[in-house]
Chains A and B, each alone.
Chain A
């Protein structure tokens, strides 16, 4: 009963109050005319805002176009600057390249001399993706004139053409594919101030001839070289191999030679190579000397393996032998000319720019090994290389000679600086 009374009382109070509120709110509402005016004002405002957005969009489009134009200009400027600086990696790359190397030697002992032994310029040109030209021009011993020991030599000048991805042919003056040093002899790439005497006196490095060379990869680890080239001419040189090089200077073609090499990359950093060469007469049928067919056999290994983060162990070994079929060569023991060497080394890379390596080499060579007369040369060399940059090297070594002909011995210190670029 009490609840019913309370509800009735509240209802009685609420009805008059709601009437009062509704009446006063209706009096506060704008009239129809006022509402229409407000709508028109809002419409005008929307149109103004639309106009502003339109202008902004146009400006944005223009800005976008300008940005694209500027990007194009920046790209063009970048291309032009890259071309000027001749940098690699840009869109355009100069087809002509220049490189080179040089080495200055001091030889102590009885030799006691300093010599700008070699200054070499490489000039190469890429005609197309398939055809390239390589050249190497060398000045030896600084001065070239009568009475001086210097020489200007064109050691390479040939065109190389790709047959396909794995085979190519080279035509012109080329280095004979043999040994370790004959093709790669830039000073920072080998130990010792002077090049080793086995490759110098037996192979004989550096050896270049004009001819045609077919090279390629038989498999991913097996490569070959087959070269037909002008041969040696030992006329008047008593079958001395090194003196028989004609160096592409009006070299006789009468008795050309054929060289074949197979190289096996047993694993990364391990190469084993073997070369055979045949020339049917190294006197070029000269009436002054007896005809002499000659065969050269060479085998080598070149190992360079990282054994720690900064340490690389190296090992080079080479054996080479000439067999010359001539009675006159037999008489002076030059029917067999042979040599071999072993060279362990260890290189420590100190930082980005500095590395140091130590080595020892034992060499034996004999250009008159075909008789019983003792005529061999034995040499032990120990030393170190210091690279202040990967392409610059300072060298120091000490050589101990043990020759059958003792008067030729010259135990000495050798110093050298070499570079390549």
Chain B
């Protein structure tokens, strides 16, 4: 029994080294996500600053007062793409959110670093966000089911989607809707 266990143990410990030699990083790259969402990678990102007037709403969405001074986004016509980090349990989850005219058309987890709940990366979970909008009360327009054992990660996803929708709406309010499609 012991010899078999030692063989398994050795394999498990060294398996990453063997496999890394053949596998490069396979997470979705941010630039690939943006290019796919907008048709091409824009030359530069745009920035929305979290000014005094919108700060209370961001606090309401994120449930904390500690967040960046500005958020970057990419825009083509009325499409905007947001790459956002939000902590689940202890590690940040990097998520790409694509929005058109105030409606989520895609939510993809680009990098998941938590030890549990990686199922949120898959379409069975993320497709729930398709066509979701933001209500006047800054809530999602429909309920989202969670993943067992990953309550904090699914809560983080809800915050990210609400934030992206809110910022998208502010960008369109500020710059006006584009005629380009």
Q: Enumerate chain A interface residues (CB-CB to B < 8 A).
A: 75, 78, 81-82, 85-90, 93, 97-99, 122, 124, 126, 129-130, 132, 134, 160-165, 167, 169-171, 180, 183-184, 186, 188-189, 211-214, 217, 220-221, 223, 226, 228, 254-256, 258, 265, 267-271, 280, 302, 304-306, 308-309, 312, 352, 389-390, 420
Contacts and interface: CB of A to CB of B under 8 A. Distances in A.
A184 B151 contact: yes
B54 to A, nearest CB: 15
Contacts of A306: 143-145
Contacts of A98: 90
Contacts of B180: none
A379 to B, nearest CB: 23
B90 A99 contact: yes
A78 B72 CA distance: 12
A352 B116 contact: no
A265 B119 contact: yes
Given A87-B66, A97-B92, A268-B147, 18 more contacts: A78-B68, A82-B69, A88-B85, A88-B86, A89-B85, A90-B68, A124-B91, A130-B16, A163-B19, A163-B20, A165-B26, A171-B12, A184-B148, A213-B12, A217-B119, A258-B5, A265-B147, A267-B145
Contacts of A389: 63
B148 A220 contact: no
A99 B89 contact: yes
Interface string B116-138: 10110011110010000000000
28 contacts: A78-B69, A78-B70, A88-B68, A89-B84, A93-B85, A124-B91, A126-B91, A130-B20, A160-B115, A164-B26, A169-B13, A170-B115, A188-B151, A212-B13, A217-B119, A220-B124, A226-B12, A254-B2, A256-B2, A265-B119, A265-B124, A267-B145, A271-B148, A280-B1, A304-B146, A308-B143, A352-B63, A389-B63
Given A124-B91, A189-B151, A258-B5, A129 B15 contact: no
A164 B12 contact: no
A189 B149 CA distance: 8
Contacts, number: 158
Interface in B88-128: 89-92, 111, 113, 115-116, 118-119, 122-125, 128
A129 B25 contact: yes
B115 A134 contact: yes
Contact of A126 (B16, B113, B116, B149): B113
B55 interface: no
A304 B25 contact: no
B146 A269 contact: yes
A271 B143 contact: no
Contacts of A280: 1
B23 A169 contact: no
A161 B5 contact: no
B62 to A, nearest CB: 9
A88 B149 contact: no
Contacts of B1: 255, 280
B12 to A, nearest CB: 4
A304 B5 CA distance: 38
B12 A212 contact: yes
A331 B127 CA distance: 55
Contact of A184 (B13, B47, B116): B116
Contacts of A122: 89-90
Contacts of A390: 63, 155
A280 B1 CA distance: 8
A230 to B, nearest CB: 11
B90 to A, nearest CB: 4
Report the 4 A-B pairs with minimum CB-CB distance, sorted nearest first.
A269-B145, A306-B143, A271-B148, A165-B26
B87 to A, nearest CB: 6
A211 B8 CA distance: 11
Contacts of A97: 87, 90-92
A306 B116 CA distance: 22
Given A87-B68, A171-B13, A184-B149, A220 B87 contact: no
B124 A228 contact: no
A380 B105 CA distance: 46
A264 to B, nearest CB: 10
B27 A165 contact: yes
Interface in B1-55: 1-2, 5, 8-9, 12-13, 15-16, 19-20, 23, 25-27, 47
Given A88-B87, A97-B87, A265-B147, A164 B13 contact: no
Contact of A169 (B15, B91, B124): B15
